[in-house]
Amino acid sequence: MNHRLSIKILTLSVALIFASCTGSDNSKTSVDAASIKVSGEMVAELTAPPFVPAPVGNRSAKKLTVDMEILEQVGEMTDGVKYVYWTFGGSVPGSFIRTRVGDEVEFTLKNHPDNKLPHNIDLHAVTGAGGGAASSFVAPGHEVTFSFKTLNPGLYVYHCATAPVGMHIANGMYGLILVEPEGGLPAVDREYYVMQGDFYTKGENGQPGLQPFDMQKAVDEDADYVVFNGKVGALTGDNAITAKVGETVRLFVGNGGPNLVSSFHIIGEIFDRVNIEGGDAINENVQTTLVPAGGAAMVEFKVDVPGTFILVDHSIFRAFNKGALGMLKVEGEENKTLYSGKQIEGIYNPEGGSIQETPDAPEAPVASSLAERIDIGKQIYSQTCFACHQGEGQGIAGAFPPLAKSDYLNEDVNRAIDIVLHGKSGEITVNGEKYNSMMTAQTLTNEEAANVLTFIYNSWGNNKTEVTPAMVAAAKSSH
Ligand SMILES: [Cu+2]
């Protein structure tokens, strides 16, 4: 406990030294927050991700009541994969809490009677033993209340700290609490809440059914899922966050861990300002910002051109293979001076024309009916093809052709099998649009290739062909 306190003091003094060296205008940090008087009371607005409560603006410090309920509930990690999440407020990450420096927070933590386990909360914004954990341990069917004064402005993680701590965090027990400085943060047009987490399941990534937590994988840091906002696809397709050209956007980015640090990046966007680690220091013109496990960052940028911007953990296999991928959809007028769109495109392939192939994976679930084939195929799609061809098979204009109502697909099943097995490059025309790009060969067994193609043919207005492993095998041997 003392240890924790001394770390806080150390951090504070480093911050002060930093401020004096740079001669920055951060005189706010030298205000003795402990002496800020509160006037009046209010009930904190709590929001589920990706939304955040209204800014504090220039309100005075208040007694702020936070009422949070812990719920253990089944949710969906990805299509067909269920997981028992432990949540603060019914969402992963937990409810966003927004305060200002000097607030006296009266925190009530309720453990729902249907829950199976005791829990507590450690808020990194708290100066005090265990960050509140010591005072907030609560059994199912009970509630506890404790209070603290917010002394340091910044964006802080909170999490459950009940043993085994790693397990409680791994099951989704984390969220963010923002402490705004006096006068509030600078106004922006849009604010969102994005928090990364890594998950460990008994089954491998995509294995269907209710998947229990795997302690050994968690200890080994061998994550099956790395996701934003608790599940694969929480921020993609219809769940994407949005903005309009010309607007300023602020993302409150957190990382619950339990294990992995995040190299947070948005494809096609540069962060104009980053509050590094959620503190006062601001870095400008940043491509990728590191968000530690149990840490946060505030990133701000103006969106200048329309399009879909992809949020990733730039440890990139996590993005395309484990789920750490979100979308920011920006609508508005194009600006060809800032971004031309595609002007000239050719294939650049320094390894020569041949597309690399990857060997067959050893085993895969076997489908015994058309319905099952479609079901399994859907999961393969959401792990393997989704990143490029998109959730509804709509593709991305100019880059990835659509699989939905694709005339090219429906015309020739053997050609489609061949593309999945061996990849494809060169110009093709799909639904009247030309594509001249490259798809790499996919690592799929005959069974998996059959299942995923059958799913595609039986979705989104395609011609309902069933592709069997025998057809895939035949296509292979004809090569
Ligand atoms: Cu817990």
In DSSP notation, 43-97 reads: EPP-B-TT--PPP-TTPPP-EEEEEEEEEEEEEEEETTEEEEEEEESSSSS--BE
- The secondary element (H helix, E strand) that includes residue 377 is helix 370-380
Computed on alpha carbons and rounded to an integer, the radius of gyration of the chain in Å comes to: 25
What's residue 107's pLDDT? 96
Ligand 1: distance of its center to the CA of 160 in Å? 5
Question: Within a 10 A sphere around the Cβ of 101, how many other Cβ atoms?
Answer: 23
The residue count for the chain: 479
3-state secondary structure of 386: helix
How confident is the model at residue 342, as a pLDDT?
Answer: 65
Phi/psi region, residue 446 (left: phi>0; alpha: psi -120 to 50; beta: rest), is alpha
Distance from the CA of 67 to the center of ligand 1, in angstroms? 16
The CA 348 to ligand 1 mean position distance, Å, reads 51
Can you give the pLDDT at residue 28? 46
Strand partners, 311: 266, 326
Q: Which residue has the tokens 């397990």?
A: 167
Report CA(72)–ligand 1 centroid distance (Å): 9
How far is the C-alpha of 167 from the C-alpha of 293, rounded, in Å?
Answer: 14
For residue 77, how far is its CA from the centre of ligand 1 (angstroms)? Answer: 19
Q: What is the 335 CA–ligand 1 centroid distance (Å)?
A: 49
CA of 130 to the centre of ligand 1 (A): 14
**What is the secondary structure of 205-219 as a DSSP string?**
TT--EEPPB-HHHHH
Peptide bond preceding 93: is omega within 30 degrees of 0, i.e. cis?
A: yes
Residue 73 has φ and ψ, to the nearest 5°, of -150, 155
How many other CB atoms are there within 10 angstroms of residue 354's CB atom? 10
pLDDT value at position 401?
93
Helices 446-457, 469-477: crossing angle, 10 deg rounding:
120
Taking the centre of ligand 1 as the mean of its atom positions, its distance from the CA of residue 304, in whole angstroms, is 42
Distance 112 CA to ligand 1 centre (A): 12
Can you give the pTM of this predicted structure? 0.66
Q: Separation of 87 CA from ligand 1 center, angstroms?
A: 8
Task: Tell how far the Cα of 88 is from the centroid of ligand 1, in angstroms.
Answer: 9
Burial class from Cβ neighbours inside 10 Å (0-12, 13-18, 19+) for residue 50 reads: buried
Residue 109 alpha carbon to ligand 1 centre in Å = 11
Instruction: State the pLDDT at residue 438.
Output: 75
- Cα–ligand 1 centroid distance for 90 (angstroms): 13
Distance 442 CA to ligand 1 centre (A): 40
pLDDT tens across the length of the chain (479 residues): 344 444 444 444 444 444 444 434 444 445 688 999 999 999 999 999 999 999 999 999 999 999 999 999 999 999 999 999 999 999 999 999 999 999 999 999 999 999 888 999 999 999 888 888 888 999 999 999 999 999 999 999 999 999 899 999 999 999 999 999 999 999 999 999 999 999 999 999 999 999 999 999 999 999 999 999 999 999 999 999 999 999 999 999 999 999 999 999 999 999 999 999 999 999 999 999 999 999 999 999 999 999 999 999 999 999 999 999 999 999 998 888 888 776 665 555 454 334 444 444 445 578 899 999 999 999 889 877 886 788 789 987 777 899 999 999 999 999 999 999 888 888 899 999 999 877 777 778 999 999 999 999 999 999 999 999 999 999 888 76
